[in-house]
Chains A and B, each alone.
Chain A
């Protein structure tokens, strides 16, 4: 199993540009999440999904959209990038109810100029 994969690994955007961060998992996990990690702030939850077609907001959802059309994929969209969105983004998945361990992808380092 590849586990949780994320693309791209690095990205530089200009303010106002849009892009999609890709996340995929091959473990048939129900739950998927997106976090951002900023220096000194730990990880903060952006959006999460408990199954295909179901998404919900986390702690810091503004400026981001998600969708979950399949079990495997959970893309994160930045509609109009801002410098405040410069961060490292992690996707994670877990099996579902009773499956408490989260598996993380390697991260995407995003810089918005």
Chain B
């Protein structure tokens, strides 16, 4: 079953604006990751935030994590047309070796209009 649920399902913004996507999940996690998928391509890892972290930055990306609300947000600042893609959150609910499963949400489709 899906662990993460992204919101909104689709988002359309003008180039230069900020884009915010949210992810909610159900069970305790070890870490939460965000991936990008361009149309017809594989997924590319963007950023990872661990359960003991609240905020993380990478370039124009800012991720927050609220474990009490079981939610995360991805902010892309100063968006560009090249940011047009689907964005997925994925949760890692295992903390050790052995069984390992990364569970993905259904994604947010972002369109950045030039």
Contact = CB atoms under 8 A, between A and B. Distances in A.
Contacts of B100: 31, 48, 50
A101 B42 contact: no
Interface string A68-112: 000000000000000000000010100011001111111100000
Contact of B102 (A97, A102, A106): A102
Interface in B3-55: 31, 33, 35, 40-45, 48
Contacts of B107: 42
A101 B48 contact: yes
A43 B98 contact: no
Interface residues of B, number: 27
Nearest to A109: B40
B67 interface: no
Q: Which of A42, A100, A105 has the most CB of B within 10 A?
A: A42
B88 A42 contact: yes
Nearest to A104: B42
Interface residues of A, number: 27
A103 B31 CA distance: 16
A92 B104 CA distance: 13
Interface in A40-85: 40-45, 48, 50, 56, 58-59
Contacts of B97: 50, 96-97
Interface of A: 4, 31, 33, 35, 40-45, 48, 50, 56, 58-59, 90, 92, 96-97, 100-107
Interface of B: 1-2, 31, 33, 35, 40-45, 48, 88, 90, 92, 96-107
